[in-house]
Structure 1
Amino acid sequence: MAMKIDVSLCLFVIPIVLSLLLSSHHFAKADNEIGEPLITATCRKTEFPDVCSSTLESDPRTSSANLKGLSRIALELAIIKANETKRAAFSLINNATSYENQGKRLACYDGFASRVNQFVVSLQNFDQLKYSESNRIVEVFIGGLNYCIDLGVAELSTRITFLRKFTTDVKAILHLLF
């Protein structure tokens, strides 16, 4: 009789254990996604998923990145786009049609350049695992993005609109780390 109970108990316990092992493997696999599945899952959690996906998928490094790597790449891409916008703002200064226009463009460049310089510090914080501080700097950067548009430098509106959307998404991605 004791033998029947032990065998019955084993037949009952083994399927439960196997079930738990298989389900935990499934969850571990979801947590360790990389590449396009990770980009898709991550970008769904952002405000502008299309901007997020297309920008991240354009970088070949994302094909083998985990969430931390994807976050860093997203931050780097945002900084690259910010520096491109800064260069565009600088080039507008020399093409001004009036002193007033040149003054607006110069103020735009000065204000934007100082924000980009602060934005670069967010990458240093990220590398020091200070995700919260990095996220705070990104938020401050987003808050100042419309400065040039508010000054009347309409030539930068497309770049700044894209940068605002993507940087908002970067902030959401960084938030997933803490």
Structure 2
Amino acid sequence: MAFSLSVSSLTLLSIFLSFLFFNHSLAASDELINSICSSTHNPSLCVQSLKSDPRTTSADLKGLGGISIDIAQSNAKSTFNMILSLINQTTDPKLKDRFDTCRENYDDSISDLDECRQLLNSGDYLGLNIHASAALDGGETCNDNFEGPPAEPAELKQANQKLEDLCDIILVISNRLK
């Protein structure tokens, strides 16, 4: 009887300690995400983006860097496809040229984000910072193409800003990893 009570007690203690450890790791991850996001230009987008990925519950700083690269890359590819659609839909040669320039900007951003993944994995955090900054420039440069008429479509302007904000998350993380 004493043996079964002690096995039962050990089992309960083990479950309790596992529960505490699991909850502590979640809290630490939330704390890390909030700390990172409070340093970005768009904290609410940062928190929403990172917490939408289930991998964040067990991610450390480097892991969050990888997740943020994945999110930015997915966004850049989606915007690239939107730009291709805009190129195909417009008959205005000036707009077509501007969209084509944006396509080139996003092609460069996607390449820079591919490079970010490799740099993060190799521990080259300065290189990561440089390529994340270059990826951010894709959205900014696309916006700059629309300084005069014809106007930039609102959906493209929003997508450009989102890319900048997502790349900013990578920059904050890379600065902390350095």
Q: TM-score, normalised by structure 1?
A: 0.74
**Letter of the structure 2 residue corresponding to residue 42 of structure 1:** I
Moved more, 117-126 or 34-43: 34-43
1-structure distance, mates of 2:36, 2:69: 14
Contact 1:33–1:66 (CA under 8 A) maintained in structure 2: no
Residue number among 106, 110, 123 corresponding to 2:104 in the alignment:
110
Partner residue of 2:152? Answer: 154
> Partner letter of residue 41 of structure 1?
S
Root mean square deviation, CA, Å? 2.2
1:89-100 superposed matches below 5 A: 89-100=83-94
1:30-49, Cα deviation, whole Å (9 max, x unpaired)? 99964323212222233322
Which residue of 2 is the match for residue 27 of structure 1? none
Does the 8 Å contact 1:138/1:171 carry over to 2?
Answer: yes
Aligned to 2:56: 62
Q: What CA distance in whole angstroms lies between the structure 1 residues aligned with 2:130 and 2:44? A: 24
Q: In terms of Rg, which structure is larger?
A: 1
Counterpart mapping for 1:72-87 below 5 A: 72-87=66-81
* Equivalent residues of 1:86, 1:109 under 8 A apart: yes
Change (3 A) 1:127 1:168: same
Q: Distance in 2 between matches of 1:44 and 1:100?
A: 40
Output the CA distance in 2 between the equivalents of 1:49 and 1:38.
13
What is the correspondence of 1:157-168 to structure 2 with a 5 Å cutoff? 157-168=157-168
Note if contact 2:68-2:170 (Cα within 8 Å) is conserved in structure 1.
yes
Instruction: State whether residues 46 and 169 of structure 2, in contact with CA within 8 Å, keep that contact through their aligned partners in structure 1.
Output: yes
The one-letter code matched in structure 1 to 2:115 is V
The question of whether the paired residues in 1 share the 8 Å contact of 2:65 and 2:120 is answered with: no
What does residue range 126-145 of structure 1 map to in structure 2 within 5 Å? Answer: 126-145=120-139
Q: Does structure 2 conserve the Cα–Cα contact (< 8 Å) formed by 1:82 and 1:163?
A: yes
Is contact 2:102-2:138 (8 Å) kept? no
- The 1:47–1:114 alpha-carbon spacing in structure 2 relative to 1, beyond 3 Å, is closer
Q: Normalising by structure 2, report the TM-score.
A: 0.74
Distance in 1, matches of 2:44 and 2:141, equals 25
> Where in structure 1 are there 5+ consecutive unaligned residues?
1-29
List per-residue Cα deviations over 1:108-153 (Å, max 9, x = no partner). Answer: 2123212321331111111111111011111122234222222226
Deviations 1:76-131 (CA, angstroms, capped at 9, x unpaired)? 21111111111111111101032222222122212321232133111111111111
SS at match of 2:139: coil
The sequence identity of aligned pairs, in percent, is 26
Do the aligned partners of 1:112 and 1:147 also contact (CA within 8 Å) in 2?
A: no
